[in-house]
Amino acid sequence: MKETIIPIGPFHPLLEEPELFTLKVDGDTVIDVDVRIGWNHRGIEKLSQGLTWDQVPFLIERICGICSTSHPYACVLAMEEICDIEAPPRAQYIRPVVAELERIHSHLLWLGLAGHFIGYNTVFMWAWKYRELTLDSLEQLTGNRNHYAMFKAGGVRRDFSQKAMDFTMKAMDETEKATKMFLGAVLDDPVMHKRLKGVGVLTYEDAIQYSAVGPTSRPSGVDHDARRDDPFDAYGISHDKGVWKAIVLQDGDVFAKAACRILEILESIKIIRWCIENIPDGEIDAGVKEIPAGEGCGHYEAPRGEVFHYMRSDGSNFPIRHKVRAPTYNNLPTYKATCPGAHIADVALITASIDPCYCCTERVGVVDKLGTKHILTQDDLTKLSVKKTNEIRRKLGKTTYDPYAKMI
């Protein structure tokens, strides 16, 4: 059997962790996939052990620009576990608002990129257009579009102004309208059904075996959500009151993953509205002076899955151990289950489906056994994917759309 090896990467601009995928293909079908990570190593855990407790959340924010609330959230929960304190009530309502706004912008970002990969550039532009509303809200509430610097052990750094909260409520109305439009556009489109259903299926057993987390595992029927299962801050109360629920779907394919994310945006909007409506008055900071000796864990359901932080203190002003586990680390190995058997045209989509922010350009070199070398760019991969969508449209009697036709 003639076997072809396709390396993708290691440069993946816009991936959280630039990584190297090696695909083994037979003709057009993927047989095996190998993932190598470690290209984005910055030594954050070591750096964290040289910073004071107050500085650590600023560094931890910079692990990932898109999860820049989730990591500090888990980190301060770990610190609070060491101190055995809780944030004041108002801070407990401020935190989920920032975190859920982040989830909305992350999911809209993913939706846009997924649209781009299957040749629906309109979805890309629209999703990113409506994402700006969320970023505007974040800028009003926290002062920055990304990297909010809101979290500290025992509370938050800034209070919300009434004006900013009113702005956010209005922005959420708009976002809800847009999300419902996307829901209709994706879930009712026959082309999307044909293109996404049954592609890159992650079964329930595989999701458990590979320890997949978050929106990679929930569409496969794994009923797990850190916000609900180990409640903290306002999440527990709001879930008990029936404000929101964890989205669990059964199919496990790319279609279910897309649907799961869009439905999660709607749940996030509900949490934000409830938190802003019920936000109590009072202090926002418990005034933690020092962190005693001890160890603590914190976990939070980031947009991509559960993020876990472990911290140990010896009573000094530095953490002596800080361990971080990010969701993508768990989700990457699921390629082993989802990629084999798929077409190369689907690989861009399947690798994107765990949301590693796979967009932009990268080099893909095709090396076959005889040693001849072709270079496929990300554009070529996208073109293959667009071609497949157009074939499906043609079969369904729709007009074709090729965003690349005029570019070449």
Question: Applying CB under 8 A, which part among 143-151, 264-272, 277-285, 313-321 lies near other proteins?
Answer: 143-151
CB of 314 to other proteins, least distance (A): 21
The CA distance from 379 to 389, in Å, is 15
Question: Applying CB under 8 A, which part among 80-88, 92-100, 125-133, 214-222 lies near other proteins?
Answer: 125-133
Decide: is 398 part of the binding site for other proteins (CB under 8 A): no
Q: How many CB atoms lie within 10 A of CB 306?
A: 24
Residue number, 5 or 149, with CB nearest to other proteins: 149
The single-letter DSSP state of residue 219 is G
Decide: is 104 part of the binding site for other proteins (CB under 8 A): no
Closest CA to 137 of 115, 180, 108: 108
Tokens at residue 240, please? 């008990």
Among residue numbers 238 through 267, which ones bind other proteins (CB under 8 A)?
none
Residue number, 59 or 263, with CB nearest to other proteins: 59
The CA distance from 250 to 54, in Å, is 43
Closest CA to 328 of 348, 304, 310: 304
Q: Is 290 exposed, middle or buried (0-12, 13-18, 19+ CB in 10 A)?
A: exposed
Residue number, 220 or 330, with CB nearest to other proteins: 330
**Pick from 26, 34, 65, 170: which binds other proteins (CB under 8 A)?**
65
Decide: is 14 part of the binding site for other proteins (CB under 8 A): yes
CB of 13 to other proteins, least distance (A): 4
Decide: is 369 part of the binding site for other proteins (CB under 8 A): no
Q: Is the CB of residue 363 less than 8 Å from the CB of residue 11?
A: yes
The CA distance from 291 to 153, in Å, is 9
**Pick from 64, 172, 178, 386: which binds other proteins (CB under 8 A)?**
64
Decide: is 365 part of the binding site for other proteins (CB under 8 A): no
Phi and psi torsions of 309, nearest 5°: -125, 135
**Pick from 4, 8, 9, 16: which binds other proteins (CB under 8 A)?**
16
Decide: is 140 part of the binding site for other proteins (CB under 8 A): no
Question: Applying CB under 8 A, which part among 120-128, 152-160, 173-181, 332-340 lies near other proteins?
Answer: 120-128
Q: Is 370 exposed, middle or buried (0-12, 13-18, 19+ CB in 10 A)?
A: exposed
DSSP reduced 3-state for 162: helix
Radius of gyration over every alpha carbon of the chain, rounded to an integer in angstroms: 22
Question: Applying CB under 8 A, which part among 58-66, 197-205, 286-294, 392-400 lies near other proteins?
Answer: 58-66
Q: How many CB atoms lie within 10 A of CB 86?
A: 15
Beta-strand ranges (E) seen in 275-327 are 294-302, 305-313, 319-325
**Pick from 1, 2, 46, 162: which binds other proteins (CB under 8 A)?**
46
**Pick from 12, 257, 273, 299: which binds other proteins (CB under 8 A)?**
12
**Pick from 8, 30, 59, 150: which binds other proteins (CB under 8 A)?**
59
Decide: is 292 part of the binding site for other proteins (CB under 8 A): no
- Side-chain half-sphere exposure of 170, counting CA atoms within 13 A: 9
DSSP reduced 3-state for 107: helix
**Pick from 6, 15, 150, 276: which binds other proteins (CB under 8 A)?**
15
Maximal CA-CA distance, the chain:
71
Helix axes 89-117, 233-240, angle to 10 degrees: 80
**Pick from 53, 124, 160, 300: which binds other proteins (CB under 8 A)?**
124
**Pick from 11, 167, 318, 329: which binds other proteins (CB under 8 A)?**
11
The CA distance from 99 to 69, in Å, is 6
Among residue numbers 25 through 44, which ones bind other proteins (CB under 8 A)?
38-44
**Pick from 175, 217, 238, 378: which binds other proteins (CB under 8 A)?**
378
Give the binding site for other proteins (CB under 8 A). 11-16, 18, 38-44, 46-47, 50, 58-59, 62-66, 68, 109, 112, 124-125, 128-129, 132, 145-147, 357, 359-361, 377-379
